[in-house]
Amino acid sequence: MRRVARTALSVVTWTVVACAAAVALAVGLPNLFGYKSFTVMSGSMEPAIGTGSVVVERPIMPREARVGDVVTFKDPEGTGKLITHRVTRVRVSGATASFVTKGDANNTVERWNVPADGSIGRVAYDVPKVGYAMVYAGGRHGRLLLIALPALLLAGFEIARIWRPERPKGAKGGAPA
């Protein structure tokens, strides 16, 4: 029974580690190739992109944007926030690209301009719900947990190793003869 429990725990542990590694690669690896990732903090793009999703985007020139693309841009009201919405109209005239964008769940549009040779982000893909964990991990308690949890696990493994009785060399585990 103990062996089954230990095997089950090992399978669960490796499954969690593999899932965490896959998410880390999906969100982090694209940064090496010039992509950026952001956490979506509102439901303005639902159902296409849900609250708490991480969007991974690549920088494009404004003239490359097409109607229907989901792009990230600075709030035209000057708040400094980034907004990720769908392009409903784009027009390039001389050195300026004019956009009309709208969140899929919104009733209003944003009108904004950017230099035609500037840069905006086009969403390549999103990873649902991962942003919640990333925001938590970036907070005070999350950072503490990211330090304390591995330390506690390491301490637990070391205590178990110290207290576990030593097996005689050559023993395969079973009752002594």
Cα distances (Å, whole numbers) of residue 34 to 21, 56, 71, 93: 20, 10, 16, 27
CB of 38 closer than 8 Å to CB of 82 = yes
Contact partners, residue 97, CB within 8 Å, separation at least 6: 62, 63, 65, 90, 91, 113, 114, 115, 116, 118
Residue 72 DSSP code = E
CATH topology of domain 34-128: Umud Fragment, subunit A (2.10.109)
**What number of helices (H) and strands (E) belong to the chain?**
3, 7
Q: Which residues contact 59 (CB under 8 A, 6 or more apart)?
A: 34, 36, 119, 120, 121, 122
Q: Is the confidence at residue 130, as pLDDT, over 70?
A: yes
- Is 0.85 surpassed by the pTM of this model? no
CB neighbours of residue 140 within 10 Å: 7
* CA dihedral of 60, 66, 71, 76, whole degrees rounded to 10: 100
Average pLDDT over residues 113-137: 89
The winner for highest mean pLDDT among 24-28, 34-38, 170-174 is: 34-38
Q: Tens digits of per-residue pLDDT, 37-91?
A: 989 999 999 999 999 999 999 999 999 999 999 999 988 888 889 999 999 999 9
Average pLDDT over residues 15-25: 84
Identify residue 157 by its one-letter amino acid code: F
